[in-house]
A and B are shown apart, each in its own frame.
Chain A
Amino acid sequence: MRAPPRPGPGAPRPYHFPATESHLLANGLRVLVAPLHRLPAATVLLLTPAGGEVEGADAAGLAALTAPALLEGTSQRDTNAQAAAFEQLGGEVFSAVAWTHADCGTTVMSSRLDATLGLLAETVMEPALPSAGVARLRDERQAELLQQQAEPRGLADDLLLASCFDAGDRLSRPLGGDMARVAACTDAMVRDFHRSRYVPRGSVLIVAGDVKADAVVRRAEATFGTWEDRTLPPHEGRSRAALPARVRVLHRPDAPQSELRVGHASVARTHPDFHALAVMNAILGGLFNSRINLNLRERHAYTYGAFSSFDWRRDASIFSASTAVQSEVTGPALREMLHEITRIREAPVAADELSLAVDYLTGVFPLRFETTAAIADALAMRIGFGLEPSYYDTYRERVRAVDAAAVLRVAQEHLHPDRLQVVVVGDAGVVEPALGELSLGAIERVSAGG
């Protein structure tokens, strides 16, 4: 049988990020509605300016403790009745924290939106924040941290955080806080944090789904309109001093693999080089066919997968490359990773590498926004980082404008091989000699949780 020839693409069909309608309530709460009449479902999400970045380093974990505490009951019902009330409507309520904001919401059939908004208002405006519930959440976070001591990936991620920023910097600790600081968070602190940070002005009620904007606004006025107006100070960004290169090993005797992380602090999410950095990272380690993955996985079979990424933050992000490899090849795998980070700064990327990254990032765009929850989350991200309202409308043309010269420039300006923090969670007896051969500097051995 003769094979049919490889087809060319058809003509792309237009795609526009869903249009939104915005309305400001008298108390400062913004209502943002994205009507999507696809399936009879709607996602509601209340975003508040109560993210991890507003804490001091000494209170690390307070925001992450406060968000789920909203689900420990309200002035009108206890925690079980609150969960049951949402779930009776078909929605599983969540309340979570990001660095830039906290959000609380659910997805329901749109016919149940009105009742859901009422429950959500009660949850955010009148949480009971009982001592016992806060104590339990604190115990659960501590249990999670204890569990993580047996979890190589989480250990490696947290050790990289701690290596990329000064110890006194909030960003050096996990969003959920660390053992000592979470232990110090009291229920009184949670109530204070809620009182001061969960305010309507600066908060946004996002509704995406099979709804009419004017009906949502009316209902929002009825349910959130009594929330007392107060003003928060605006976010003040600050830059971070660069740290020198360091090598840290967390010893796990007889570990079958080494978890590797290399990275350093990088620029703010709002930096004008964002789109060029996204293209550069896709080529370096973001795509399956990126340089790092093809090298470590497909050429050398060192790993199941290797990649690089930016963990975007408002003031200072983290650039990192990650993988897990058999202990015996820790040295060679690390050398190949460092080689790729250096190489992308030395010469322009090839035309086919560039077009792969640009075509992927622009083409995959509609696929990222198939569901009401994905659209609500995308709006929350945009608002949380303070990006302009046209961010999603201009994203693709900005990515298409990135050329090989721009990729080279941002690689040279924003990747710093001389400042890389190297983190290895593995068998120190095996990996330390290999690290020594790479001459990356003094090796510091650290312990879990330390």
Chain B
Amino acid sequence: MTPAPHTHTLANGLRVTLVEDNTTPVVAVNLWYHVGSANERPGRTGFAHLFEHMLFQGSEHVAANEHFELVQRSGGTLNGSTWLERTNYYETVPAHQLALALWLEADRMGRLLPGLTQEKLDTQREVVKNERRWSVDNQPYGTWWEKLPALAFPGEHPFHHSLIGSFEDLDAASLDDVREFFATWYAPDNAVLTIVGDVEPEAALALVETYFGGIPRGRARPALGDLSVPERFEGWRRQVVPDEVMASRLFLAFRSPPFGAVDADVATIVAAVLGNGKGSRLQQQLVRGRQVATSAAAFTFDLSRGRDLLVLDVTARPETSADILEAEVASVVDDFRRTGATPAEVERAIALSTTEFVTSMQSAQSRADRISQYMTYRGNAAELAAWSDRLAAVTTEQVNRWAAAWLGEDNRASLLYVPKATVEDHT
């Protein structure tokens, strides 16, 4: 493995992690702001994501879309994304272009507002509406991204509402909202910067100080709404969604420990036993064995506060009814709960998860993103390095205790997509 991370905090509160890796002459710059859709005000759903678009529309010294142009011209790739609890921005560039990437990120963190216009906001609002049509409204099962959190979290909970937002709320967003959101959340003391690649850490830190050091701290940030929820769903919440689809699909969610908790590592292995790889139970039993499904997967949302969600995503064969799909998935889960996994299954799950982890660390950007995740949610980059050791230490007994405790009918929320043509049978 490459050298351990160096972590520093600038006087303005920006936390910086640097990892030197000289194997390829590239460097990844990765910036997480600790703000996501959970921080939105009522009536302004979708705002954190709309704002992410605005961050590519220029700042004091950068014209609209020039950020994209300068990074691509330098031979780099870039993007940003918004999630429930964070927004990230990232560039991977040839190593000699590090200063440019840092300068671009610093100009928009320190000096976004001079570049802002109503026209840019209006354009990006329409772009985001098209993004919603493309990824949600005109996409089979596309609404699951908003229906599952809405089902899993109570009405006023910060995770309940739509991440991409409604057309109504997007239309309501004003230039003043953009200014206020920026001033509130886009400050160095609410951000984490990670640099991974062919850099000398001291020299890179000096560049960070040059470009970010003069940006003032943010003001007091409003507290999030109440994130606490009961440990379990306390029942089986079901929602049936008629959709323009040819086959049923079930999303079955369990409340699980938040990201970073010891038991979250066990949950990762539980998910892998159930739905990661051809050797997983859902794929063996439902896709190849009983042949009622065409695909099956399991994953966690990686929510760091309150409770996370462990989600099974299983698509039926066209001829399998929604009822049978739900019963079959439930039987796999119930069987696991009752009889537990074998040591060989747990070994398989650990080996697969470990290889996935190590191979993802090959990419400077995905390594930087995981470091930013640990810094933002856990305040600790070293925890990431120990993660594969922690996975390897998960025992069959822990897995089976976890499954027995958390996979029960008292802890389920399911979203069952059914073809519209057959909806009469399900209402």
Contact = CB atoms under 8 A, between A and B. Distances in A.
Interface of A: 1-4, 6-7, 9-15, 36, 38-41, 71, 79-80, 83-84, 86-93, 107-109, 136, 139-140, 143-144, 146-147, 149-152, 255-257, 259, 287-289, 294, 297-298, 301-304, 324-326, 355-356, 359-360, 362-367, 369-373
Given A1-B214, A88-B351, A147 B130 contact: no
Interface string B191-226: 000000010000000000011001110000000000
Contact of B294 (A9, A140, A302): A140
Contacts of B409: none
Contacts of B24: 15, 366, 369-370
A363 B318 CA distance: 46
A111 to B, nearest CB: 11
Interface in B61-117: 61, 64-65, 68-69, 72-77, 92-100, 103, 106-107, 110-111
A38 B246 contact: no
B186 to A, nearest CB: 16
Contact of A12 (B94, B215, B278): B94
Given A4-B210, A356-B73, A301 B355 contact: no
Nearest to A94: B278
B130 to A, nearest CB: 4
Please name the 6 residue pairs, one residue from A and one from B, whose CB atoms are nearest each other, closest first: A363-B75, A301-B126, A10-B96, A90-B351, A7-B99, A83-B278
B100 A1 contact: no
Nearest to A152: B138
Given A1-B214, A143-B317, 19 more contacts: A2-B214, A13-B94, A39-B359, A41-B359, A83-B279, A84-B279, A87-B277, A88-B344, A90-B355, A92-B278, A139-B291, A146-B247, A255-B138, A289-B68, A304-B127, A360-B75, A366-B25, A367-B26, A371-B363
Contacts of B131: 304
A139 B135 CA distance: 27
B347 interface: yes
Nearest to B363: A370
Contact of B245 (A10, A147, A298, A356): A147
B73 A326 contact: no
Contact of A364 (B77, B133, B134): B77
Contacts of A369: 24
Interface size class of B (residues with CB under 8 A): 35 or more
A217 B130 CA distance: 53
B28 to A, nearest CB: 9
B127 A359 contact: no
Interface string B209-253: 011001110000000000000000000000000001111000000
A144 B287 CA distance: 13
Contacts of A360: 72-73, 75
A406 to B, nearest CB: 19
B134 A257 contact: yes
Contacts of B278: 71, 79, 83, 87, 92-93
A79 B277 contact: no
Contacts of B64: 298
A371 B363 CA distance: 6
Contacts of B348: 84, 87-88
Contact of B96 (A2, A12, A136): A12
B23 A38 contact: yes
Contacts of B211: 4
Contacts of B215: 1
B284 interface: yes
Interface in B351-378: 351-352, 354-355, 358-359, 361-364
B140 interface: yes
Contacts of A301: 122-124, 126-127, 130
